[in-house]
Chains A and B, each alone.
Chain A
Amino acid sequence: MGRLILEQGRLIDPAHQLDTPGAVIIEEGRIRAVVPATDGPISAEPGDERVDVRGAWIAPGFVDMRASLREPGYEHKEDIHSGLQAGAAGGYTSVCALPDTDPVMDRPSVVVQVLERAANARGARLLPIAAATRGLGDEHLAPIGELADAGCVAVTQGEKPIGSPRLMRRILEYCGGFELPVLTSAVDPTFPGLCDEGIWSTRLGLPSTPAAAETMALARDIALAELTGQRLHLSRISTKAGLELVARAKDQGIPVTCDVTAHHVTLTTAALVDYDPNTRVWPPLRSEADLEALRAGLGSGVIDAVVSDHQPHHLEDKAHEFPVAASGVSALETVVPLMLERVASGDLDPAGLIRLLAVGPMASLGLEPQGLMEGHIADLTVVDPSRTWTVTRDTLVSQGKNTPFLDRTFAGRATFTVVAGELVYRASEKQELS
């Protein structure tokens, strides 16, 4: 097999202080050479596949830390094949799959099954995240050591925080012994609202979840991370106050990292005005002040990663009244376009976007960063900031068409995705509007 050459791009790898025009030569699944444009043209060899990515950025592969791929158990919403293809179409070379399947990913046999299915799918890699407790039941530890050996990269309780502080402590301690990070989505479940608490919940007459539900749960988990000294990743921070708690914990040297979703840095509670079930997410969309704080955190280093929190649903699951409709967004394909909007608005520079989508996720998972370096695994994402694209039911690769961004036209998107040296996604020119 010949070489794959991505050329005429802008090479950006913030982990290796690289930002220069140039090309990447890929051979046998690895980066053979990173060639700045100043080195002159690359001489042709037989069997070369040369891809001109003029105007686009060539980046280390993007990693999504949070996606529900629905298989096994909910294949009518998504399956591993369609989910990993959607991931590749969204620019991801790796997608972390949450354990909220049926059966729950709480034993090695399920992990083996999921990885086998992933191996046969042409798309992003799948990184399994195991259930922290048996059946996500909040009582008994899952066999965490075996799950790590089976290939899991972290553990989590999924949608909920771990119920008892005692159990949370044990999970952190036990995972620490296996060098496995714990992911938690910290919102106190005793305030199960449908809407941020504030003027919008008052106007819309919806049960509300105050920001304090997040800070209460975060404060507990941060205290336990400090107690145990174990690595904890705080997922889906949605409020200004929550982000301030994380910033303080980091200043104190507590080993925490955090992420936000792309929709929480794009939409506010105002999006609920028509009770569109596609705006029902957890945690709920928050206020303008929260949005501003999260946007400021993108470039400040407090936020380590942006996640999709991909939750594909069947059309029928959303065709209900707001309080009954399923929660979540089909998001793998809209994260990069939404983050490009943050670059256009000045909240981020291109290197900052790549830090949040590639470098930060790998570091938060405690994985060896892959970059634009000779000898590294050739997982690469090409982003074209001026490739317009309209989100429609047809242009979405995911089976889940549930997104509040339906019919929105974005200025840019991921255009090529390379996994282990193989071009697994190439954006069709037909999707271009202009």
Chain B
Amino acid sequence: MTAFSLPHLIGIEGMDRDTITKILDLADHFKEVNQRAVKKVPALRGVLVVNFFVENSTRTRSSFEIAEKRLSADTLNFSASSSSLAKGETLRDTARNLQAMSPDILVVRHGAAGVPGFLSRHISAAIVNAGDGWHEHPTQALLDMHTMRENLGSLEGKKVAIVGDITHSRVARSNIFGLVTMGADLHLAGPATMMPPGLDELGVKAHHRIEPAIEDADVVMMLRIQKERMGNDLFPNDREYFKYFGLTEERLKLAKPNAIVMHPGPMNRGVEIAPEVADGDQNVILEQVGNGVAVRMAVLYLVAGGGLLSQKEE
């Protein structure tokens, strides 16, 4: 392996197979660190990471914070709950304020698509996208691919089903870009009201019923149905959603016997996933959470310069 670093992590779109593979390989290394008695390495000592979260998040931020602490970075949480306009400050001024703190890495979660890219053009810190609007959630896709790879060996040719609200899901988008690049056979399913146009152009197969998507699948990933979208015009109610799109034990039998069941969390039991499936033998949902820390350590490490990796290889 040659020395390798990432300037930023804005999205999975455009990232090549080799880069994704290297990130996942490095995550393997950090996963091993996470199993040690002392889980802390000095890789990011003296590096300031600012977690800039302009949208509620507990899990993703906690996962990033653990990753940062295990890498010995200095961390600062900078939260806000609204857009720049509501605060009466432009996004450019927000960027300048962040820049003035001289962070080395800025982890960004924002409700508007495109904000991490905007910040990468205005701030000298390395930017890590922790979710921007409906656009991308690249570390989630990386941890998902990491979990799949651990369980299946490789992603090439594996049938992966992603079921739920594809239109409004940054998790789905990042996984689409990543899994297609990695050679998976990707099938998406959801009510037609939640399926965006042009999916075939992205190299995936779209279905309006769950069954053809999960049939013979190696991976079944269920997306969270957002309660706030219920009762409007996307679908009638949670009962009907579960009836036609929920992952039940019965339906899971359509997939390969050793198929894994994934969910980015938090789950709505009885809406997109039956409790028996969520707790069943095939679920790897908590593995995903654990891998999240390792993948985020890898990403933070790489955007910080990636020196250790080449040292290690020497």
The reply to whether B197 and A319 contact each other, CB–CB distance below 8 Å, is no
B244 to A: closest C-beta gap in Å: 23
A197 engages B90 (CB within 8 Å): no
Given A324-B83, A324-B112, are A199 and B91 neighbors across the interface (CB < 8 Å)? no
B228 interfacial contact with A, CB 8 Å: no
B199 interface contact, C-beta 8 A: yes
1/0 contact trace for A193-204 toward B, CB 8 Å?
Answer: 000011111111
**Residues B112 and A199 in contact, CB atoms below 8 Å apart:** no
Instruction: Name the residue in B113, B115, B134 with the highest tally of chain A Cβ atoms < 10 Å from its Cβ.
Output: B113
Q: Restricting to A180-208, which residues have a CB under 8 Å from any CB of B?
A: 197-206, 208
Looking across the interface, which residue of chain A has its beta carbon closest to that of B136?
A205
How far apart are the CA atoms of A274 and B135 in the complex, in Å? 12
A contact residues vs B (CB 8 Å cutoff): 197-206, 208, 274-275, 316, 319-324
In the assembled complex, the CB of A22 is this many whole angstroms from the nearest CB of chain B, namely 51
Evaluate whether A202 and B91 lie within 8 angstroms (CB atoms) in the complex, with A321-B84, A324-B84 already known.
no
Q: Shortest CB–CB separation between residue A322 and chain B, in angstroms?
A: 5
Q: Which of B219-276 contact A (CB under 8 A)?
A: none
Nearest-CB distance from B62 to chain A (Å)? 24
Q: Is the CB of B135 within 8 A of A204?
A: yes
Known pairs A203-B13, A321-B91; list 16 more (Cβ under 8 Å): A197-B197, A198-B197, A199-B201, A203-B202, A204-B114, A205-B132, A206-B113, A206-B135, A274-B117, A316-B90, A319-B90, A320-B92, A321-B110, A323-B133, A324-B85, A324-B91
* Cβ of B109 under 8 Å from chain A: no
B87 to chain A, nearest CB (A): 11
Interface residues of B in 63-93 (CB under 8 A from A): 83-85, 90-93
Residues of A contacting B85 in the complex (Cβ-Cβ under 8 angstroms) = 320, 324
* In the complex, residue of chain B having the shortest beta-carbon distance to the beta carbon of A324: B85
- Give A198 to B198 CA distance when docked, in angstroms: 6
> Once the chains are docked, how many angstroms separate the CA of A280 from the CA of B167?
20
Distance of A105 Cα from B110 Cα, bound (Å): 39
Q: Let me know if B114 and A321 touch, CB within 8 A.
A: yes
A206 to chain B, nearest CB (A): 6
Q: Which of B84, B199, B201 contacts A320 (CB 8 A)?
A: B84
**Residues of chain B from 169 to 200 with CB closer than 8 A to chain A in the complex:** 170, 173, 196-199
Report Cα–Cα, A275/B134, bound state, in Å: 13
Query: Once the chains bind, are B202 and A202 in contact (CB under 8 Å)?
Result: yes
Q: How far is the CB of B85 from chain A (nearest CB, A)?
A: 5
Please determine whether B198 and A322 come into contact, CB atoms closer than 8 angstroms: no
Q: Are B201 and A319 in contact (CB under 8 A)?
A: no
Interchain Cβ contacts within 8 Å, total number: 76
Q: How many of chain B's residues have a CB under 8 angstroms from any CB in A?
A: 30
CB-based contact B197/A275 at 8 Å: no
- Give 7 nearest A-B pairs by CB, closest first: A275-B114, A199-B198, A205-B134, A205-B135, A321-B112, A319-B90, A319-B92
A320:B135 contact, CB within 8 angstroms? no
- Residue interface mask B42-70, A partner, CB < 8 A = 1: 00000000000000000000000000000
Bound form: Cα–Cα A205–B137 in Å: 11
B131 to chain A, nearest CB (A): 11
B134: chain A residues at CB < 8 Å are: 205-206
**Known contacts A321-B84, A324-B84; A201/B114 CB under 8 A:** no
**Contact A201 B196, beta carbon cutoff 8 Å:** yes
Which A residue sits closest to B134, measured CB to CB?
Answer: A205
A345 to B87: give the CA distance in the assembly, Å: 46
Partner of A319, one of B91, B135, B173: B91
Complex CA–CA separation, A310 to B60 (angstroms): 43
Selected contact of A275 from candidates B13, B93, B117, B167, CB within 8 Å: B117
**Shortest CB–CB separation between residue A41 and chain B, in angstroms?**
57
Return B80 CB to nearest CB of chain A, in Å.
12
- Which residues of B are found within 8 Å of A275, using beta-carbon distances? 113-115, 117-118
| CB neighbours of A197 from chain B (8 A) | 197
A321 to B136, CA, bound (A): 15
Q: How far is the CA of A275 from the CA of B110 in the complex (A)?
A: 14
B121 contact set on A, CB distance < 8 A:
274
A274 to B121, CA, bound (A): 10
- A201 — which chain B residues lie within 8 A by C-beta? 196-197
A136–B167 Cα distance when bound, in Å, is 34
A366 to chain B, nearest CB (A): 40
Given contacts A320-B90, A324-B85, contact A202 B115 (CB under 8 A): no
Within 8 A of A (CB), among B124-173: 132-136, 167, 170, 173
Partner of A205, one of B91, B173, B197, B199: B173
Q: A275 vs B196: C-alpha distance in the bound complex, in angstroms?
A: 19
Q: Is the CB of A321 within 8 A of B201?
A: no
Whether A199 and B202, one on each chain, are in contact in the complex, defined by CB atoms closer than 8 angstroms, is yes
Most buried by B among A197, A198, A275: A275
18 pairs from A and B in contact (CB 8 Å cutoff): A199-B201, A200-B198, A201-B197, A202-B198, A203-B198, A205-B132, A274-B114, A275-B117, A319-B90, A320-B85, A320-B90, A321-B110, A321-B114, A322-B112, A323-B112, A323-B113, A323-B133, A324-B85
Within the assembled complex, what's the spacing in Å between the Cα atoms of A200 and B114?
Answer: 13
A274 CA to B132 CA, complexed, in Å: 13
Q: How far is the CA of A322 from the CA of B114 in the complex (A)?
A: 7
CA distance A376 to B313 in the complex (A): 82
Report the separation of the CA atoms of residues A197 and B91 in the bound assembly, to the nearest whole angstrom: 26
Complex CA gap A316/B92 in Å reads 9
